[in-house]
Amino acid sequence: MSNWLIIIILFLAVLTTGTITFLFRDFFSKLKHYFTTVGVSFVLSLICVHLLPEIFQTQVSNVGAYLLLGFVFQIILELFSRGIEHGHVHHHEEHHSHSVNRTLISMFFGLCVHSFIEGMPLFLLENAHMHEGHVHQVLESSGSFSSVFFWAILGHKIPVAIVLMLFLIQSKLSNVKVIGLFILFASMSPLGALVGFKFGVNESSTIFLAITTGMLIHITTLLVFEEYHNQKDKIKNIALIIIGLTLGLFVF
């Protein structure tokens, strides 16, 4: 597939999710927990089985430090985004329109920064790994497309798209503003992918991938541990986590 087609698919997948959520908001407000838990567990499985082994196979020194950098950077971003990246927004009940708008602006800024950075490694991988059982055949193709990372982004962004659309609706914005903000959000990761592709490859590719993976590790582990320790419907939550982890094992 061409780079433009991949970018269009990423944009439309998020936009379509938001549109369907907008049309069937009552349905998705009841099931967002299922989508979020399975999606995040799926991403965690891809990280453990594919992304981390490939990152540590590279020759970049101190690559683990870049993972930690991404982990810490995500903690800082959540001061703005209020934790919407892992399926819910941390905020107190706010009834004044000024407070609601301030929360929305802060949250949207943090989420857009996260999405932009998340998209940057999509075409930055110097080596595309073809998985055949336990054999890794490395193909030298500068700027190649990573299907594993693409699915990791989708598995993370689709639940976030549902939660974001529901939050925008609850913010009592006009439909025009809701749609405009959501289109902006949907374009962030594709824009990050374009900027990353123009930025260059080689060692920077692994650095960007490690930083982004560190961000995803924070999001996925936090939500999985939250769901596991949640005493309400604990068996159901564990089952959803296992489903997501299993999907990640068998997709590739």
What is the per-residue pLDDT across 161-170, written as a single tens digit (0 to 9) for each? 999 999 899 8
Lowest mean pLDDT among 18-27, 130-139, 159-168, 179-188: 130-139
How far is residue 148's CA from residue 45's CA, in Å, rounded to a whole number? 11
- Which whole-number Å values give the CA distances from 71 to 17, 54, 148, 227, in the listed order? 27, 18, 20, 20
Task: State both tokens at 33.
Answer: 């927990």
- Which whole-number Å values give the CA distances from 190 to 113, 213, 247, in the listed order? 12, 17, 25
| Neighbouring residues of 26: CB distance < 8 A, sequence distance ≥ 6 | none
Residue 85: its pLDDT value, please?
66
Beta strands in the chain (DSSP E): 125-132, 135-144
Residue with tokens 């991949």: 6
How far is residue 213's CA from residue 219's CA, in Å, rounded to a whole number? 10
Q: What is the per-residue pLDDT across 220-247, written as a single tens digit (0 to 9) for each?
A: 888 777 766 666 777 888 899 899 999 9
Residue 48: its pLDDT value, please?
92
Residue 17: its pLDDT value, please?
96
pTM above 0.85, yes or no: no
Contact 145, 3 (CB under 8 A): yes
Task: State both tokens at 68.
Answer: 């930690």
Across residues 149-165, what is the average pLDDT? 91
- Is residue 198 predicted with pLDDT exceeding 70? yes
* Domains of the chain, residue spans: 3-251
- Residues paired with 128 in a beta bridge: 139
